[in-house]
Homo-oligomer: A and B are copies of this chain.
Amino acid sequence: MSKPATAAGDLPRYHQISNILTERIELGKYAIGDLLPTEQDLCAEFDVSRYTIREALRRLTEAGLVRRRQGSGSQVVANKVPANFVHSMRSLSELFQYASDTVFKITAVEMQVPEPEVQPYLGETADEPWLYVEGVRLEADGRTPIAFSRVFINREFEGIAGDLPSVGGTIFRLIEQRYGVTVEDVEQEIRAEPMGKYAAKLLGSSTRIWAVRVIRRYFGEDGKILQISVNYHPADRFSYSMHLRREGAKGWV
Q: Which candidate, A33-41, A122-130, A157-165, A189-197, is the interface stretch facing chain B?
A: A189-197
**Interface CB pairs A-B, < 8 A, 12:** A83-B88, A83-B89, A85-B92, A85-B95, A91-B251, A183-B251, A185-B246, A189-B242, A191-B235, A192-B235, A210-B210, A210-B235
Instruction: Determine the chain B residues whose CB is within 8 A of the CB of A83 once the complex forms.
Output: 86, 88-92
CA distance A186 to B182 in the complex (A): 30
Beyond the given A87-B88, A210-B235, please list 4 additional residue pairs across the A-B interface where CB-CB is below 8 A.
Answer: A82-B88, A180-B253, A184-B246, A188-B241
Would A244 and B186 count as touching, CB distance under 8 A? yes
CA distance A187 to B245 in the complex (A): 9
User: Distance (Å) between the CB of A208 and the closest chain B CB?
Assistant: 12
Would A91 and B95 count as touching, CB distance under 8 A? no
* A166: Cβ under 8 A from any B Cβ: no
Would B210 and A91 count as touching, CB distance under 8 A? no
Instruction: Determine the chain B residues whose CB is within 8 A of the CB of A98 once the complex forms.
Output: none
- CB within 8 A of A85: which of B91, B211, B236? B91
Would A182 and B90 count as touching, CB distance under 8 A? no
* A2: Cβ under 8 A from any B Cβ: no
Would B180 and A192 count as touching, CB distance under 8 A? no
8 closest residue pairs by CB, A with B: A192-B192, A83-B88, A191-B239, A192-B235, A87-B87, A190-B240, A186-B244, A82-B90
* A230: Cβ under 8 A from any B Cβ: no
